[in-house]
Structure 1
Amino acid sequence: MIRVIIADDHTVVRNGLRHILERTSDFEVVGEAARGTEVPQLVRELSPHVILLDLSMPGRNGLELIRQLRTDHPALRILVLTMHAEEQYVVRAFRAGAAGYLTKESAATELVEALRKVAAGGTYVSPAMAEKLALGLQEKPDAPHEGLSDRELEVFRRIVDGESLTQIAAALCVSAKTVSTYKMRLMEKLQLRSDAALVRYAIEARLFGDEDKL
């Protein structure tokens, strides 16, 4: 039996994933987490084989959490399940130590296959995403945003989504001053001077997948 923890801040999503897994005979959902800060202790207590991990939970940056989990529990297999289908998130997740990457819109049809492959020691990325990733990696020059840290990228995304520094600070469980520092650093790295310029950069680079909403 493959022991699974589901980590996602949306109750509806967790219930849906649990329902999918409970219809199979080889998975046991042993725990759930709604905040990134809950995950390390839950993993220590429950010793799962695989964790289904959302990248955007409150309290901890998902990429940082992957690194910590891989350091503390080398045998743990991590399958990222997220709304982010953009290339930079896929690449960063695998570099951090994820064994698989799946978008939430693909979960209904690909989740069981992905979990089985990851639990067996393999890696998983959907065919559509693999093609997109391969095309994006074909000898392109390094873009300025590739030099951002994981936390700077997260702050960048939230600024583009229209969140205030106070809202970002609350979501990341840090002070507004700390968020301001991250913002200053990312603007220096991108050589931009305003929020409008950040939004324009995100649209032109197609960074966060929501350009049509901006």
Structure 2
Amino acid sequence: MKRVLIADDHALLAKGIAGLLRAEYDVIGLVSNGRQLVEEAMRQRPELVVLDISMPELNGIEAATQIHRALPQTKLVFVTQQVDPQYLRAAFRAGASAYVSKQSASDELLIAIRRAAVGLTYVTPALEALVGFAPVSELREEKRQRTDGLTARQREVLQLVAEGKTTRQISMALNISPKTVEFHKTALMNEIGLRTTAELTRYAIAHGIVSL
């Protein structure tokens, strides 16, 4: 029985997904943010990860990127409310095997996971029609592009700043010194030309790093 790790910051949804999967899969854990997801994935090395895009501390796209880089055999299945081609493309570039709308997860999730488990892809039908001009099978091969030019660490700091975390809280979350946090914060501000927390928050929302 393949092992599945589930990540969603809504506990009821995570438990609902777990209940849906337990007849066919070994659910080895539920986590509520992207940083916990990465830590648990590295520790338990599951065959499958089911994750949301909008999660605190580290969003699903960034978490998936880190997991796929370290555990390329782990299949990543997104279950999200973000029914937008932009997020779909980002998910597959991060290493996704499947992308399911939360609105239809009860009907589609098991199908998506079964396909992912055998090396196939799945996209929720409403989105598949919108990306017909670029076959889903090719999305993972597209060069990963960043419109903002930020490093992965800068994006992590940006998300935590936008979530209202203090320098000390960011330092503890990332296991780096406060001085290093300030270094990354200054570097990302210089990169995107913004100075206030409000401006950074709006920027993070506009670029899908955090959600409303």
TM tier relative to shorter chain: 0.5 to 0.7
RMSD: 3.7
Whole-angstrom CA distance in 2 between matches of 1:84 and 1:166: 31
Q: In 1, distance between residues paired with 2:41 and 2:146? A: 32
1:99 counterpart SS class: strand
1:95 pairs, out of 72, 75, 93, with 93
Distance 1:206 1:10, change over 3 A: closer
State whether residues 7 and 39 of structure 1, in contact with CA within 8 Å, keep that contact through their aligned partners in structure 2.
no
Where structure 2 has 5 or more consecutive residues not aligned to the other structure, the ranges are 134-144
Q: 1:110 aligns with which of 96, 100, 108?
A: 108
The aligned residue for residue 148 of structure 2 is: 146
Residue in structure 2 matched with residue 20 of structure 1 by the alignment: 20
CA 1:144–1:11: 2 relative to 1, 3 Å: closer
Inter-CA distance 50–179: structure 2 relative to 1 (3 Å threshold): same
Q: How many residues align?
A: 194
CA contact (8 A) 1:33 1:39 kept: no
Paired AA for residue 47 in structure 2: H
TM-score (norm: length of structure 2) = 0.67
Determine the structure 1 residue equivalent to 2:162. 160
Superposed counterparts of 1:1-214, under 5 Å: 1-8=1-8, 11-22=11-22, 24=23, 27-34=24-31, 35-36=36-37, 37-43=39-45, 48-54=46-52, 56=55, 63=61, 65-82=63-80, 90-102=88-100, 104=102, 106-130=104-128, 145-202=147-204, 205=206, 207=208, 208-210=210-212
**If the length of structure 1 is used for normalisation, what is the TM-score?**
0.66
Shift of 1:20: 1.2
Judging changes above 3 Å, is the alpha-carbon distance between structure 1 residues 134 and 189 closer, same or farther for their aligned structure 2 residues? farther
Distance 1:7 1:88, change over 3 A: same
Structure 1 gaps of 5+ residues are 136-142
Partner of 2:17: helix, strand, or coil? helix
